[in-house]
Amino acid sequence: MRDASSFYAFLTICGLLAITPGPNMIYVMSRSIAQGRAAGLVSLAGVIIGYLFYMLSAAFGITALFMHVPYGMSALSVAGAAYLLYLAWQAIKPGGRSPFEARELSYEPPRRLFVMGATTSLLNPKLAMIFLTLVPQFVRDQGGNLLKTSITMGSVVILAFVLVNGAVAIGAGSTAKFLAQRPALLTLQRWFMGAVLTALAARMLIDTFSVGV
């Protein structure tokens, strides 16, 4: 890829967003705690449907945007930076919620778990923001075929989310118990995440305005 530093920043953002609390993570974790690892993984399979939908929709939209809308990417970069700042505030604000504070749910059959996972994912505004405002900026930096690069980088996002949520589904119960006994670790993780997200947002704004909005 053409811009290695941009790609590494993209990987950092993917990792941070993947571990940031959201509807999908809460759903997968809750099902895993309530019904076991298998239920959590079935729920995750449904969630992946939403990932794929937003990735493909954004990939074709990004290609059209590059070709037809002047300054469209600069506007998306500003929106993406604003979203990162919003996530940073959510991480550090008083009373911020840890993803490991999931509630238990009643039993559901596998087919319903899958459908509910897909529905949760498709209605998740976090995914729309990621694929429509954050990914495009890094696609621009990498050059090459826009559609191919969009799908490639979108796949990286999906892989990060699947790995994290898969780990959540498998280890939700034991991890939640471990962290519940160590609140200082949760606080440290939230502040570290907030600081890094703020720094990345600042970099996005600096890069955007250095070339003109």
pLDDT tens figures, 95-108: 665 555 555 567 88
From the DSSP assignment, how many helices (H) and strands (E) are in the chain?
9, 0
d(CA 132, CA 56): 11
Instruction: Report the domain count for the chain.
Output: 1
pLDDT tens figures, 41-73: 999 999 999 899 888 888 887 655 555 655 665
d(CA 131, CA 121): 13
- Give how far the C-alpha of residue 149 lies from the chain's centroid of Cα atoms, to the nearest Å: 18
**Which whole-number Å values give the CA distances from 106 to 32, 36, 134, 142, 167, in the listed order?**
11, 12, 36, 46, 22
Domain of 182, in residue numbers: 2-211
Q: How confident is the model at residue 158 (pLDDT cuts 50, 70, 90)?
A: very high
DSSP letter for each residue of 117-133: HHHHHHT-HHHHHIIII
